[in-house]
Structure 1
């Protein structure tokens, strides 16, 4: 039942959900759930897949009717809803015209003004002149002269180029059409903006633009998203959908995780204490049930048990997984090397004379805006994209490539377990089922047909197939698409335990922060590399302001290049060669220290060692010495690398 009401003293929320129940078949998705949304609230709706987050948005929007309960809405409350159903929307109009539909009233005024102006070609009466003045006043009050500029700003903010704005909507793919609908919705500025997975079709710069837009949005926002960083940056309240109810946490996603952990610890302690009391009571009842002298006490305890409000046991949604990767072969030190590589599609240049190198153990995230060529670079690295230049593949490199098109490559008539068996690994059925368990396919789930799986479930199967291969080099194109938060965290844990090398394209910053030790980005048609984590890259990137670029340019002007003599060039080359030899020798020493540490770690893992205290103390002492040595040599190695870089720069000048 839906009730619309004007604001009054007892109705302070803009929208209020009271005792909501909603059933699908005989299953309760919600049972007496309540939520109050106030003006300017920024709410993130979170929970496991299938708990009803998107359904709740559709109930609020009026697409579904609740089984019981009521939704009270303020009279002046307008709702804007972005959902995946809009992917199918088509139009012959340009995307700019589609976005401008957000200003219907203003566009109608513009048409009326044009009609009046035409009428004035033959009619100069006071009535017509007054009519024109009134329309122009209303048009100006609606900021009609700025609506085109506003629409262009929003469209370009979410990734469209200026020439794109004149193209018909129907010429864009579904993901880009969804961006247009998002732009239209943002321009409409409803008092309640509801967004269902808005980052699904956005690249990283566009996501950051939307974050900044939502932070200062004048109305209320309710967003469903699996992007944890996005939620942290643009919400101030988290509402968890769990056990048919809605639980509110007064903070962003990180606050929610911390607060939930504290609540669950208290709840679990209360559960355990109550269970102990119940068992003690039941033992008392059983022991004295037959004794007449204790009958009153027994009956009292029986009634107390019947009246007791039971505390639920905590269900832990945070799954820790342990993947056992095995390689039949380990790759050489150099995995892939690109030298003077160029790639273009007609007039569109992706790469021009670029050089890049991937070494064993690299965990690289390739980031940037759509259209820069990230997926093309993945195919170049894979060796499946024609190029100008040279691509060298290292010794014993075994690749495995995950991309979204591989979801369609799954055999829809296979059961999940059959599909895993056909992946070509030597794992037993028990091992395969353990892997599937890590990806949330438990018990009889393994026998589900691929054709009945959702997009997210298919993605998990394809990822599991990629990870069970004996590949020592993984290429992952947007692996977190279609995954919920729990599945993303599982993938992060898996890749943290992966001892091989990988290159991933992703716009999920939480994922990148969890797995990458190097960042690649494409700039001026070249692959640029940042040696560090994504958080370090963000801090570094923030300092690369236009002013810094101007200063650098001035410095170059102030210090003109002086041609080097042959003797100077020869000396620098000799010094560079010597430094590179020192770097190589240092790396061998560090690898030897790591190997020695590994041997001691294996010994320390043996329970028998703990029975011999002298041997245990000796092993611990040696282990600490190795750690100290490794730190010293690693620091020296990093210093040498800086010296090599300085010499290379000096030689290039």
Structure 2
């Protein structure tokens, strides 16, 4: 059990958590929430021993193995699969010991270590590592690639795989879904559900938290409080607490009435398609969600577009790719005002490529891309963050966009994105990923787009900002095309989905639950397809080899055990006989008065001589039996 007792935690002279007392029991899965800078990552640092409490005590079970995701990955020549296997420190130690014993030609030790390898399921370790990498989006061809060959986001996935490979008692995960796409998020969700250890998870993904955690620890105003249930349960409890405060309660009621009105308007025009019905349910659920976020620092709406061409954008028989090689072909897509489309598909299928085609960043290889007159695209992708000027402030970025607008109006607008006071004038270079994402969104929204193309817009955004973006998208009158691993955003925003797969982008007849089932079916089919006759033969051969190894080990173990016991006994017998021989060399023993003692000692000497001779004969037999066994 992990126990915090009256603990105060500070960083850089700033108190983050004060007088905290909480107990975390083995096997609990806990979501750690709170505003950015509230102390979540510092609490992880405390558990890892990188930070110490100012006051109070932290108790942890002795010998617990802690796993966490490394922040940096050097450009290693090591293969990806071997890098993931390094997470299993126990396995790697046995492998090192086995190599040393083999080099020393120590057959006894080799036998012991092969037994240990079997005990820890070391023979299946590579299969487990391959399963982890597959789940996180890597292909078989990636396994042998050096770590240095992967981009930053993929190296983060490798670090995650290494952490999951660990035989940990406590697993600390800080925003593990940030660099994952939806299919990898769904896979990780299932893996964490079955994780037997204790989990502490920092995440801003509501659906992910609801699916995985059993408790929430929330940090607010330097107070750490434990809630039972998932994130939705926490929101309901927090909404009730906020409602006690009259001013917030009144604001809650206004926000709730506003959202209820929107839900009814959407219900009236929605089709009976399953996706639309799912969205109605998601919007209705947001009434309670809004109540829990009524004190959010973010309040913004999309500005009304200057025009609304219909259609906004039209693709006809379009193919898109790089060079002359198409990734997607025969794309037929018409985007109209009010159209809300989510792009689904596995990693590498072409979702971001399709977004770039819609944005006009790349041209179709064949077919046509036609823009409506007055089309104004608001395109958000992670590489947009790199285009921010690091030496300029949020206010300077806004003045560059709107030099004729009054400064106070721009400051008021930035305040809705929580850039207030000095922060509005601070250079954005040192900003966090979340702050840069908020600034990029603010710049996009100011330009009054009528078509939003959003590629993973919630990366690095906290729960409050995600909720504010969700609300703003509900009232946006233009078209939306969205790629996101945030299922709550997809459910509440999209009326229909396209499935980017197998070189095309047809309509997907279903909702996100259907997509999860489709992913599972794809994995089953892929496993079946990989089961070629040659692979089946190799698997059988490996199984036969493993069975032979186990049979040899089964025969070797009792022989080695008997040999070890016999060597200890022989050492004892020989020591006793040496002492007897020394006593019998004493001439006083041979006097008449010592005859009885002498007789007893001579008898014991004879017994020991026979016992030692029999033991040595058995020792030779055991060695001969071990030498006759096949080598491992």
Structure 2 length-normalised TM: 0.71
Say which SS state the counterpart of residue 444 (structure 2) adopts.
Answer: helix
Q: Quick one: structure 1 residues 230 and 454, their matched pair in 2 at CA, closer, same or farther if it must change by over 3 Å?
A: same
Residue in structure 2 matched with residue 95 of structure 1 by the alignment? 80
User: Paired residue for 2:320, among 343, 351, 367?
Assistant: 343
Residue in structure 2 matched with residue 130 of structure 1 by the alignment? 108
**Quick one: higher RCO (CA 8 Å, sep 6+), 1 or 2?**
2
Give the alignment of 1:623-634 within 5 angstroms: none
Residues 243 and 249, structure 2, Cα contact 8 Å, conserved in 1: no
Residues 232 and 253, structure 1, Cα contact 8 Å, conserved in 2: yes
Q: Quick one: structure 1 residues 543 and 512, their matched pair in 2 at CA, closer, same or farther if it must change by over 3 Å?
A: closer
Distance 1:174 1:245 in 2: 35
Q: Quick one: structure 1 residues 24 and 511, their matched pair in 2 at CA, closer, same or farther if it must change by over 3 Å?
A: same
Residues 379 and 452, structure 2, Cα contact 8 Å, conserved in 1: yes
Residues 321 and 365, structure 2, Cα contact 8 Å, conserved in 1: no
Residue in structure 2 matched with residue 38 of structure 1 by the alignment? 25
Give the alignment of 1:593-612 within 5 angstroms: none
Say which SS state the counterpart of residue 434 (structure 1) adopts.
Answer: helix
Residue in structure 2 matched with residue 218 of structure 1 by the alignment? 196
**Residue 150 in structure 1 maps to residue 137 in structure 2:** no
**Residue 74 in structure 1 maps to residue 74 in structure 2:** no
Deviation at 1:387, TM superposition (A): 2.2
Residues 470 and 492, structure 2, Cα contact 8 Å, conserved in 1: yes
Q: Quick one: structure 1 residues 102 and 347, their matched pair in 2 at CA, closer, same or farther if it must change by over 3 Å?
A: farther
Q: Quick one: structure 1 residues 403 and 455, their matched pair in 2 at CA, closer, same or farther if it must change by over 3 Å?
A: same
Residue in structure 2 matched with residue 627 of structure 1 by the alignment? none
Distance 2:302 2:330 in 1: 40
Deviation at 1:403, TM superposition (A): 2.1
Say which SS state the counterpart of residue 506 (structure 2) adopts.
Answer: strand
Q: Quick one: structure 1 residues 443 and 505, their matched pair in 2 at CA, closer, same or farther if it must change by over 3 Å?
A: same
**Residue 164 in structure 1 maps to residue 116 in structure 2:** no
Structure with greater Cα Rg: 2
Residues 394 and 425, structure 2, Cα contact 8 Å, conserved in 1: yes
Q: Quick one: structure 1 residues 268 and 453, their matched pair in 2 at CA, closer, same or farther if it must change by over 3 Å?
A: same
Residue in structure 1 matched with residue 305 of structure 2 by the alignment? 327
**Greater Cα offset, 476-485 or 51-60:** 476-485
**Greater Cα offset, 50-59 or 522-531:** 522-531
Residue in structure 2 matched with residue 62 of structure 1 by the alignment? 49
Q: C-alpha root-mean-square deviation of aligned residues, in Å?
A: 2.8
User: Paired residue for 1:481, among 453, 459, 476?
Assistant: 459
Deviation at 1:221, TM superposition (A): 0.1
Residues 356 and 527, structure 1, Cα contact 8 Å, conserved in 2: no
Distance 1:119 1:450 in 2: 59
Residue in structure 2 matched with residue 301 of structure 1 by the alignment? none
- 1:493-522 Cα offsets, whole Å, 9 max, x none, are 222121111212211112222222222220
Distance 1:76 1:226 in 2: 31
Deviation at 1:537, TM superposition (A): 4.0
Residues 91 and 122, structure 2, Cα contact 8 Å, conserved in 1: yes
Distance 1:70 1:271 in 2: 38
**Residue 353 in structure 1 maps to residue 330 in structure 2:** yes
Say which SS state the counterpart of residue 199 (structure 1) adopts.
Answer: coil
Structure 1 length-normalised TM: 0.69
Give the alignment of 1:293-304 within 5 angstroms: none
Q: Quick one: structure 1 residues 114 and 461, their matched pair in 2 at CA, closer, same or farther if it must change by over 3 Å?
A: closer
**Residue 388 in structure 1 maps to residue 365 in structure 2:** yes
Q: Quick one: structure 1 residues 62 and 355, their matched pair in 2 at CA, closer, same or farther if it must change by over 3 Å?
A: same
Count of residues in Structure 1 that have an aligned counterpart in Structure 2: 482
Distance 2:351 2:372 in 1: 22
Say which SS state the counterpart of residue 177 (structure 2) adopts.
Answer: coil
**Residue 529 in structure 1 maps to residue 507 in structure 2:** yes
Distance 1:320 1:459 in 2: 13
Give the alignment of 1:104-503 within 5 angstroms: 104-113=89-98, 116=101, 128-266=106-244, 317-318=295-296, 321=299, 323=301, 325-331=303-309, 333-345=310-322, 349-389=326-366, 390-424=368-402, 427-503=405-481
Structure 2: gaps of 5 or more residues: 251-291, 526-632
Distance 1:98 1:362 in 2: 44
Residue in structure 2 matched with residue 581 of structure 1 by the alignment? none
User: Paired residue for 1:542, among 517, 541, 560?
Assistant: 517
Residues 366 and 519, structure 1, Cα contact 8 Å, conserved in 2: yes
Q: Quick one: structure 1 residues 531 and 470, their matched pair in 2 at CA, closer, same or farther if it must change by over 3 Å?
A: farther
Residue in structure 2 matched with residue 50 of structure 1 by the alignment? 37
Distance 2:520 2:221 in 1: 48
Distance 1:187 1:202 in 2: 18
